A and B are shown apart, each in its own frame.
Chain A
Amino acid sequence: MINIKNYDSNLLKELLYKMILIRRFEEKAAQAYGLKKIGGFLHLYIGEEAVAVGSISNLDMTKDYVAAAYRDHGHALAAGLDPNSLMAELYGKITGCSKGKGGSMHFFDYEKHFFGGNGIVGAQIPVATGIGLKIKYNEEDGVVLCYFGDGAIHQGSFHESLNLAKIWNLPVVYICENNHYGMGTDFRRVSAIDDFSIMAESYAMKGKQVNGMDVLEVYDATKEAIEVAKSGTPYLLEAKTYRFKGHSMSDPGKYRTKEELELYKQKDPIVSFKELLIEHNVITEDDYIEMDKRCKKIAKDAAKFAEESPEPDLNELYTDLYV
């Protein structure tokens, strides 16, 4: 059982704060999308915040790395990317983290060790494995957290990567964010098993299933996984979570029942963690309101920054193609 007294109160506050920031940032993004300021696919992470925050909070982004898929806003914020540059990217502006050329699915920050953002299901998994190879090669003290969905876990790229990571002892933690659906497909319809963590056994590594709605459980499990990975055995975590919104803004999500959605909304990772912290006198309700205000302001300012930023010049069309 998790005993909240074992955690530094600053850490606890930081976890809550980051989850709220992601939520408010994405609500603002959804609003801007509604106003057609943002185009294309917008895959919201709302409901899943505890996974990115709980895991990435273990990292030191000066030596550790993150690779994510197209549902990448939460991971980018948790990894410390500048909200202004992220919102500007959604707006397609030159001040965006990918200079307006990537959009929602392609957040990147080389300096901050954020290696995507990838729109091809499963394509980031071998890439993350390659980052692990570099860490091992240079004998660095670092780890890679690699995120992908329950849909991606069936791709060959996943299986090929785990095998390579194990035979080369790479410091990679593979994190399957099982939000129950790959687009409109319930994972149970396309998966031979319903506990993905046991796939680790096929590659002689350790696996664990965790409650992805509980930020502390994710935090602890990732901490342990990182230790194991750094000592030479990669690790597979499966975080059971849920997305409250559709697959993307255009998906009404008719393939799931209202009851199921309600059930998970009762387990909202932000609300339940906030209540836990208040109950244990780590924060007061006022502290929460204060944090929430701060996050709303950051999101609002980011939208303003994006709004006021210039579009890329037409001659940017041919920049950054070759070094």
Chain B
Amino acid sequence: MSIITMREALRQAMDEEMARDKNVILMGEEVAQYNGAYKVSQGLYDKYGEKRVIDTPITENGFAGVGIGAAMAGLRPIVEFMTFNFALQAFDQIVNNAAKMRYMSGGQFKVPIVFRGPNGPAEFLSSQHSQATQTFFAHVPGLKVVAPGTPYDAKGLLKAAIRDDNPVIFLESELMYSWEGEVPEEEYIIDIGKADVKKEGSDITIISYSKPLRYVMESAEILEKEGINVEVVDLRSIRPLDEETILNSVKKTNRCVIVDESWPFVSVASHVGWLISYKAFDYLDAPVELVTSEDVPMPYNHKLELAAQPSVDKIIKAVKKVMYI
């Protein structure tokens, strides 16, 4: 297996799917001639040309809607948002058109579109450019929401997303693009809706997804040395949510911490926490603990910025709280 970056894994997924299906196109700001603001689409314009790799003006609501129309009519667009912060301008098209079109047309239309791009906290960018948007999208029935935590998962999930006939929100953590991981040469698909146990353990379950997964794995290693055996569940897909894997793990370990970069209030984390308390209440030896971003917009100052986010330190504290030590 070769070791490649998350950025390269995503590019390979798009490349392979574009080669496989001529209906797959890529559009967005700076995706073509500039090779992508975060260089995820590097080389695709040279390979597939301007008909299939399309630069748009800065008109998020407009080009998201164009993608939706094209998808309804038979193409399979990948719409890149330069970052998901700007997807909020396209929120109307995503929520009111992409998500609802199939349902409100009585099943006549399918909307095979992927909205992808960097998401989550960045560095030194303040609150408009540094936020985790998953909860906004996860709220909406009709959308699928995916957030991989490794290059391997990113490639397999993006290929699945492109082949999916539903609108998929594909969240790539901005700071993860240069993170490396093993990715096989041969083709593989990871089904949307399947969580992954990234590490088996018996004392406590930590549930996470996307970038914080790395902090969780680091925490697990540290806790291991202290004799605490952690099981790590990576959700990978937020909607649909793999309830079975979550519940099986909690039933085994009887304790749970959920780590999520989004805000705590009505969030992905709080939903999963509710799910566990509702469906695995009798198995719990302690209340479920959440480690989320602080409930504030992201400050620019670096000290405050770091303090606003989940960290290894916070995760370890939460685990110990749940273990009553």
Which A residues are within 8 Å of any B CB, using their own CB?
38-41, 89, 92-93, 98, 100-103, 105-106, 118-122, 151-152, 154-156, 182-185, 189-191, 255, 311-312, 314, 316-318, 321
Question: Complex: how many Å from CA A38 to CA B302?
Answer: 10
Q: Given A182-B58, A314-B303, output 12 extra A-B contacts at Cβ < 8 Å.
A: A101-B126, A101-B299, A101-B300, A105-B125, A106-B128, A121-B58, A155-B58, A156-B61, A156-B62, A185-B55, A190-B58, A317-B294
Contact, CB under 8 Å: A317 / B58 = no
Most chain A beta carbons < 10 A, residue from B85, B125, B302, B307 = B125
Contact, CB under 8 Å: B304 / A40 = no
Contact, CB under 8 Å: A40 / B59 = no
| Majority SS at the chain B contact face | loop
Most chain A beta carbons < 10 A, residue from B33, B57, B86, B308 = B57
What count of chain B residues pass the 8 Å CB interface test?
34
Partner of A102, one of B34, B126, B296: B126
Task: Report the nearest A residue to B85, measured CB to CB.
Answer: A120
Q: Is B29 an interface residue, CB under 8 A from the partner? A: yes
Contact, CB under 8 Å: B56 / A190 = yes
| Majority SS at the chain A contact face | loop
Contact bitstring B27-51, A, C-beta under 8 A = 1, else 0:
0011001100100000000000000
Given known contacts A101-B304, A183-B34, A318-B294, A120 and B128 CB-to-CB distance under 8 angstroms: yes
- Residues of B near A89 (CB, < 8 A) are 300
Which B residues are within 8 Å of any A CB, using their own CB?
29-30, 33-34, 37, 55-59, 61-62, 85-86, 89, 122-129, 294, 296-297, 299-304, 307-308
Contact, CB under 8 Å: B55 / A103 = no
Contact, CB under 8 Å: B128 / A316 = no
Task: Report the nearest A residue to B128, measured CB to CB.
Answer: A119
Contact, CB under 8 Å: A316 / B299 = yes
Contact, CB under 8 Å: B58 / A151 = yes
Given known contacts A119-B128, A120-B85, A317-B296, A311 and B55 CB-to-CB distance under 8 angstroms: no
Closest 4 CB pairs of A and B: A39-B124, A40-B124, A103-B300, A184-B34
Task: State the Cβ distance, B167 to closest chain A Cβ, in Å.
Answer: 21
Contact, CB under 8 Å: A41 / B299 = no
Task: State the Cβ distance, B293 to closest chain A Cβ, in Å.
Answer: 11
Question: Complex: how many Å from CA A151 to CA B127?
Answer: 22
Partner of B37, one of A105, A183, A189, A314: A183
- Residues of B near A103 (CB, < 8 A) are 124-126, 300
Question: Complex: how many Å from CA A156 to CA B129?
Answer: 20
- Residues of B near A314 (CB, < 8 A) are 303-304, 307
23 A-B interface contacts by CB (under 8 A): A39-B124, A40-B129, A40-B300, A41-B129, A101-B297, A101-B299, A102-B126, A106-B126, A106-B128, A118-B128, A120-B86, A121-B58, A121-B86, A155-B58, A182-B58, A184-B33, A185-B30, A185-B34, A185-B57, A312-B301, A316-B304, A317-B294, A318-B294
Given known contacts A100-B301, A106-B300, A154 and B59 CB-to-CB distance under 8 angstroms: yes
Given known contacts A39-B123, A318-B294, A191 and B302 CB-to-CB distance under 8 angstroms: no
Question: Complex: how many Å from CA A183 to CA B55?
Answer: 12
Task: State the Cβ distance, B303 to closest chain A Cβ, in Å.
Answer: 6
